Structure 1
Amino acid sequence: MKEKVTAVFDIGKTNKKFFLFDRDFQEVYREYTRFDTIEDEDGHPTEDLGRLKNWLKGVFDRILDAKQYDIVSINFSTYGASLVHLDENGEVLTPLYNYTKPLPQEIVNSFYDKYGPEVDFAAATGSPSAGMLNSGMQLYWLKYAKPEVFQKIKYSLHLPQYISYIFTGIPVSEHTSIGCHTALWDYDKKDYHQWVYQEEIYKKLPVIVSTETSFNMNYNGKRINIGAGIHDSSAALLPYIRSIRKKFILVSTGTWSIALNPFSEQDLTKADITKNCINYMRINGKAVKASRLFLGNEYKEQVKVLSQHFKVPSDYHKTIGFDHDIYCEIVKDFEYMFSWVGIQDKNMPATTRIPYDKFEHAYHQLMVELVLLQVDCIKMISGNDAIEKLYIDGGFSDNEVYIQLLSHYLRDMSLNTTDSSLGSALGAALCISDTKLNSKFLKKNYALKKHVPFIIQ
């Protein structure tokens, strides 16, 4: 007898993954691939949408024919800040413009001349000015820089909803994609911002449905519930929200380290905006106060410099565990020594200074400085909330020095790490299920570990 499963496509910038989960949300199958990027008309790297679509269809059709699995539902999680523009025939009109593509400054200036001041606008929308990362700005750019293309757009779909559209043919919008620093949503009004109506952008955006929506459809002769898709950061948060009863902060680490407070009741202030705070959105439309730190990227760049300086193998840093004595030496007469590549910080010196003769000491110095930045991010989004629980997932959950230092500097919080390689995929599966989770779910599915701060001697 075939095993009933939920399928999830989890589409990242680098890895494209496919998962199957059983009724207890245990992973029973996975596969993944990577694609080379292609270029848009300006030579900027971008997602190969045609190849992605062929892979999605190929994998799903193959699994549908598999003898051991009976797919009853499917959902999709993808990175955000990306729009796919369709014409009246449902054909893709433009490349998937990469959120790293720069916007012409005159377009940005004209927008804020109309709808600024910039800080006020950012506070209302939870979206500090960030070019194409504010995906709504892409539509404004198309309207004025490429009006002939703009006029042909029937629907603009966020990437998770485009992946769903490939399978359903039904164009929709949903909250988690609209709410992730797109500059489209007014969090106070709980509606699109006035500029979306004034510029008639809203006519290009399909009807908003609940993130938990699924369409019961006949797909290749089989009835399947097909989800509307979900933004990956909001999906990664969902297993925690559904299984933890107390207030918590989740820090999802990787190239970007994103600290998420789903319980903040305060609107973003102008001060928050100047400190790089943004809003994400829960599946119920509620704001998630967040702060971003380019942690993984900075770590990679600085470790490269240290490895060359001390003439050690490039992966030597992975062997370093936390050393209490080295830490005490460093903080005794503490000075900031690293000049960051991708982070702006008032404490950093103009140039990096490495006075140590051992890699281990320099590495601990680096980690102390990075963790102090991380602590600021966490405290910033905590605000006046008394939050006792802190969860760390992603790449840095395995870095002993990072975890030990974080638990030390945030001693009043209970710090737990989780192995969330499933992360957003599991959240996407849960999203289209009404299953209630108990408090042991994370321990069972995420290898939950509690960490105790070290003793200061």
Structure 2
Amino acid sequence: MEPIPVIAVFDVGKTNKKLFLFDENYKIVFERTARFLETHDEDGDACENLDSLRLSVFDSLREIFKHKEFDLKAVNFSTYGASFVYVDEYGKPLTPLYNYLKPYPPELGRQFYENYGDEARFALETASPVLGNLNSGLQLYRLKYEQPEVFKRIKYALHLPQYMSYLISGQMVSDLTSIGCHTALWDFGKNAYHNWLGDEEILPKMAPLHPADSVLPAEFPGSTYKVGIGLHDSSAALIPYLVSFNMPFVLISTGTWSISLNPFNQTPLTADELKHDCLNYLQYKGSPVKASRLFTGYEYEQQVKRIAAHFNQDEIRYRTINYDPAIASRLSNQPSLQANENDGQLQKSAFEQRDLNSFINDVEAYHQLMIDIIAQQTVSTNYVLNGCKVKRIFVDGGFSKNSVFMHLLALAFPYLEVYAASMAQATAVGTALAIHHAWNTKTLPHDLIELKYYSGVQSEVV
């Protein structure tokens, strides 16, 4: 029996580290999940265990080669963003992999913005809201001033996906999907690195830029498989949609955050959009994606707990509540409370102000929660819709399975086609698709994503 041609994808999240093997039809034929104990940096802050991560890559490859039923054609990587590995000329890491949630020194932040323009103007230039260590460029700035001797020894600062690629290819490169995501490194107007990198002598520390769909040879003698240069996970998750649909669309990716992504909107960010947590980042072909974010998933969980406790119900019940158009219609006709849109972020719905005693039962309260969340979602998604004709909205993640959310969203956008989209492991599939040309002999598939249509006119599933 001939071995099956496969690509190995390492999908590294903050919690779970996953390995997938996909066949040429993008079906999972092998998978493995691991979790590593965190370690600590010199300040005692928790951080990723880089040694465990590195060893797991080699252990996983050895395991793949033991499976004679597979013929490994390529390897690629996707990881969370805002994380640099600083390596010396021999490729050895010089510091821990600092956690992007590590507090940023306020005085250093003030120094940076005093030198390079006020926060609002700089944020517009770099499409990067002021986020401290989540602006990974500021991590380099911090290292230069807090650990100058270490900074001098840096050959390259590699974002985590490119470091993992380097482990197999032996080549150090940079990738636009990592560089272009709220890093404060990229000037979107000039489509080049921002001037401050040159002023601070950081530019030489950036490895050569390669296209996100490029591949490198494996470093190990006798190896014939190709090595992708890695992608930022948010960009990777968008790729299956870009491959499958040509008509302009917005993808609302839901989880802890609800992120509206419009890869067809090329308009520059405005100050108002930045104020309301919008940003641009670069997709795998190099063009900007306009995005807006809400902390909806977290708030949903908190308010569902409040409803369950008040009405003495089990929280699990709300996973399968069906949409009731009569309740929704009655509640929508009542005077509405306004969430505060002027506090810099549209992150809290009106529901937390509501008195639960005013509802007949928990189902009515739950519908009101979803109405208030959709009110937020409509404002947020409209930020990425402005200035671009879009025909469809796709929703993936947790809310795509929520009947009440999907019906109300369709009602909020009656002139657009609204679909719940589902596919297994979108980030990993996107990472494999990015280098399809380098390993797969078949044409790109067009049945990767399952869609369920919701009508905003009749408010019923077709």
Question: What is the TM-score of this pair, normalised by structure 1?
Answer: 0.94
Structure 1 residues 229-260: Cα deviation after superposition (integer angstroms, max 9, x where no partner): 01111111112112211111111111111111
SS at match of 1:122: helix
Which stretch shifts more, 133-142 or 431-440?
A: 431-440
**Distance in 2 between the 1:53 and 1:218 partners?**
15
Q: 1:439: how far off?
A: 9.6
Q: Does 1:73 align with 2:35?
A: no
3-state secondary structure, aligned to 2:11 = strand
Q: Indicate if the aligned counterparts of 1:218 and 1:224 stay in contact, CA closer than 8 A.
A: no
Counterpart mapping for 1:230-379 below 5 A: 230-336=231-337, 344=346, 348=350, 351-354=353-356, 355-379=358-382
The answer to whether the 8 Å contact 2:18/2:33 transfers is yes
Deviation per CA, 1:257-301: give whole Å up to 9, x if none: 111111112111222211211011112221111111112122122
Deviation at 1:425, TM superposition (A): 0.7
Bigger shift: residues 238-247 or 402-411? 238-247
Q: What is the CA-CA distance between 1:17 and the residue it aligns to?
A: 1.3
When residues 309 and 46 of structure 1 are mapped into structure 2, their CA distance, relative to the original with a 3 A threshold, is farther
Q: Which residue of 1 aligns with 2:160?
A: 159
After superposition, what is the alpha-carbon deviation per residue over 1:186-206, rounded to whole angstroms, capped at 9, x for unaligned? Answer: 011111000011111111111
Aligned to 2:436, the other structure's residue is in SS state coil
Contact 1:258–1:293, Cα closer than 8 Å, also in 2: yes
Give the AA of the match of 1:233.
Answer: S
How big is the shift at 1:44? 2.4
What is the CA-CA distance between 1:143 and the residue it aligns to? 1.1
8 Å CA contact 2:157, 2:205 repeated in 1: yes
Partner-residue secondary structure (3-state), 1:315: helix
- How many residues are matched? 454
Deviation at 1:145, TM superposition (A): 2.0
Partner of 1:380: 383
C-alpha distance in structure 1 between counterparts of 2:367 and 2:400, whole Å: 17
Which ranges in structure 2 are unaligned for 5 or more consecutive residues?
A: none
**CA distances 1:340-385 after superposition (whole Å, capped 9, x unpaired):** 9x96458748845322242211111111111111111111111121
Quote the residue 1:449 is aligned against.
452
Name the counterpart of 1:389: 392
Residues of 1 paired with 2:301 and 2:434: CA distance? 33
Match of 2:92 in 1: 91
1:456–1:416 Cα change, 3 Å: closer
Amino acid at match of 1:381: V
For the 8 Å contact 1:243–1:438, the answer to whether it is kept is: no
Tell me how far apart the structure 1 counterparts of residues 175 and 374 of structure 2 sit (CA, whole Å).
35
Aligned equivalents of 1:347 and 1:14: distance in 2? Answer: 28
Structure 1: how far apart are the matches of 2:39 and 2:318?
A: 33
Contact 1:339 1:351 in 2 (8 A): no
Which residue of 431, 434, 437 corresponds with 1:431?
434
Shift of 1:47: 1.5
Q: Give a deviation string over 1:206-228, Cα, whole Å, max 9, x none.
A: 11011111112253632110000
Identity %: 41
Matching residue of 2:410:
407
8 Å CA contact retained: 2:257, 2:297: yes
- Aligned partners of 1:4 and 1:72 also within 8 Å: yes
Q: Which moved more, 1:287-296 or 1:90-99?
A: 90-99
2:22 matched to 1:21? Answer: yes
Deviates more, 1:260-269 or 1:309-318: 309-318
Partner of 1:300, secondary structure, is helix
**C-alpha displacement at 1:149, in angstroms?**
2.4
| Pair 138,426 (structure 1): closer, same or farther in 2 beyond 3 Å | same
Query: Is contact 2:308-2:315 (8 Å) kept?
Result: yes
| DSSP-derived class of the 2:20 partner | strand
Q: Give, in angstroms, the shift of residue 337 of structure 1.
A: 8.5
Q: Distance in 1 between matches of 2:92 and 2:309?
A: 49
Aligned residue for 2:389, secondary structure, equals coil
Q: CA deviation at 1:179?
A: 0.2
The corresponding residue for 1:135 is: 136
**2:374 aligned partner, one-letter code:** V
3-state SS in 2 of match to 1:85: strand
Q: Secondary structure at the match of 2:73?
A: strand
SS in structure 2 at match of 1:303:
helix
* Larger deviation, residues 286-295 vs 210-219: 210-219
Write the deviation string for residues 63-92 of structure 1: whole angstroms up to 9, x where unpaired.
122121011101111111111111233221
The corresponding residue for 2:123 is 122
CA distance in 1, matches of 2:191, 2:284: 13
User: In the superposition, relative to structure 1, how do residues 316 and 43 fare at CA in structure 2: closer, same or farther (>3 Å)?
Assistant: farther
